[in-house]
Structure 1
Amino acid sequence: MALNTWTATCAVFFTWYTFVVFISLLGVWGIYQRTKRVESLGKASEIEGDPIPVTILRPLKGIDPLLYDCLRSSFVQSYPFELIFCLASADDPAYQVVQQLLAEFPNTDAKVLVGDESYGPNPKVNNLTKGFKAAKHDLLWVLDSNVWVSPNTLGRAVRHFADPKVGLVHHVPIAVALGHGSGSRLEEMYLLTSHSKFYTGINELGIAPCVTGKSNLYRRSDLDRATSSLFGEGMQKFALYISEDHLIAEALWSTGLRTRLANEQAIQPIADATAQAYIDRRVRWIRVRKHMVVAATLVEPTTEVLLSGLIGAWTAGNLWFGGFSWLWLVIHVILWCSIDYLNFHNFTCFANISGQNRPFFTRQYFSPDHSMCGKPRKLTDWLPTWVGRELLALPIWIKSMCGSRIEWRNRPFKIRRDLVAEEITN
């Protein structure tokens, strides 16, 4: 009886291990399919029927790395749009960057809205609400200020709304480290390996909403309906929460609409940062998520190379090899690392970005050491950052689970069990 229980336990854990590996490989395959080439169909003139008008909303606060390039990417979209920049104050240094772009593109339907409304502790939602109400068009593209997108991104994303079941279209967020800072390299590694493959894999399955808010398209009317709001008031309902992106996706999902992952990426250039800054950022978002997606947060360590490898070596070894299999663990780590290396360079090849007038950080295999651009990073340069990120994953998770306080935009918050962000004022 005890032997049967032990075998059944091993079988359950091995099934989970197999599922984790499957999602990982599904994500890597999905990324390869999205990044291997430029789509032939993308311009507005190539989309069947009349183009669906879109309002682009870009919330701004402060100066992000290469802000001019990121904001400029909105002006050169090859699809009809209205563009609204949202700021809390005209004294914000980003205001001058916007004015420079408005002067550079005088014939673009673009404007800036300034106002410091407050509906809750989330400054991004407070900032967006005025644009949400003022937008001419029902279909909105909420695009973070620190993100660059290729010129055909909007045209290709809008095509997904031809399916009446689609309520939200989003893009994989990736980062490009502009310098050699350990924190920026760790963030880049995390987004181009672990995060991207599981993010894509879960979206390929389509069993639950898995959305980050870097680049999201949805209809204002759908969000108003999902939140039982009056015209244009759907956004402000999320000002109480830090994780408005996931909650918006859940609200739309609850009405029967589904999310769709587009082929392009939301590319964020990141300046030098310390390893501590990377750790603090990861702790912050795990603490935000742990009351929101409890099960996914609890099993997150089992999706990293070491713990998943130990589970595989223990269960497979006991089921078939008479004990823990070190050979299984070694092969697992080597294959996992190799796949991450390939996945990293599927992104940094930027094969799905066309055009000559593209910023330097989207050149093929961009590296902070510009002499290395044009060819994949050497394994000896890439591997230490990969190992460091994997070794940090479990300690970061443990620290995250042991508290509820976060620092966001230099303001302290406590995340309550009902997901509301409560600012700490004392």
Structure 2
Amino acid sequence: MKRGAVGAMRAGAVVLGVVLAFFAAPLAQAQEGKGGVELAETAGTDAGLQAWIAGFRPRALAMGISEATFDQAFRGVAFNAQVIDRDRHQAEFTKTIWAYLDIATSDDRVNAGRKALQAHGPLLQRIEDTYGVDKHILLAVWGLETSYGAVRGNYGLIEALASLAYDGRRRSFFETELLAALKIVQSGDARLEEMICSWAGATGHTQFMPSSYLAHAVDFNGDGRRDIWGDDPADALASTAAYLRHFGWQAGQHWGLEVNLPAGFDYELTGSFVKKPVAEWRALGVRPAAGGDLPEDGAGSVLLPAGARGAAFLVFHNFTAIEAYNPADAYVIGVGHLADRIAGGPPIQAAWPREDRLLTPDERLELQALLARAGFYADAVDGRIGPNTVAGVKAFQRANGLVPDGYASLDILTRLR
């Protein structure tokens, strides 16, 4: 569900870690499977897929998949060119964080979350009591991934994963997920017809990859199946809680909050690598944007997802637990802020630099190359704006008397040019 760059995969990530699209995939799923999609040229054919399946079959059987399960699962499976087209044209970094949050935390999504809380309140409270994960966070994950179960995908899981594995761009990853999906079928936890998914193979109410399902799904309602697909969301929501707890969620603590930074704040102190106890941030003049005092939730970091001219967030350990679901900062902030809004919190207070736009892939490459040429960057020129690029931007800003917020903007690229 996020949601990074290709290859930035976390072990066990629920949402497809190899994608990490800045615009979380589930928010775009409403458009999947509809007519009028222009498909890219692909080298794949249905005959090619069938030959690949024949070669994959003995390997699957050697991994414990029965002949009956395999043959049943692949009956009628055909090459899905639309899945490959979506894989090759991922909507990566196509939305600014404010455009993303406008959708992810819209009033409609907040109101739908509050209705879901009313409808499933006792269930959510039992899950929170069992796993220690805030029920509002679970609702927010559910809301971002499938609009509270309304949009769970448009593709058959076996067909999507087989097409992606056959295509070969990330064959090992998708073969592993395909084997996991076959194990789910063989276990009897799910019927093939209910295992629909996103183009990337994420499935169920909260969009688990099959390997994550095997590792973390639970039978919370006690019916003998770990059912994350049916109309009853109990197992899916509890599985999400179990996943987050496994990755370090700390009960009773916040994910983070929007903060105001004082005049004269040292922007060298921003970024995920700088962690300070709440008492130190308080002494530096950092205050909650909504008023009151900072929560006593251990050490935190100040993040500026749109630079010094946008909102600032003080984030804590539970931020990293949500990152295990999808490491994109926009996704984690979206989950946290949507949870806060469902619980009655206010919208983000700060203005965003809405006149800005994201750098294109070519511009990100150029930015890194120019930073390297100027002596501010020594890492790979790969177009991925990670911590080393942010550090390079900060160094350039510092050398030129600018606010060192590390924001890789068009203004910085123009100055480098």
Q: TM-score, normalised by structure 1?
A: 0.24
Structure with the largest fraction of strand: 1
Q: TM-score, normalised by structure 2?
A: 0.24
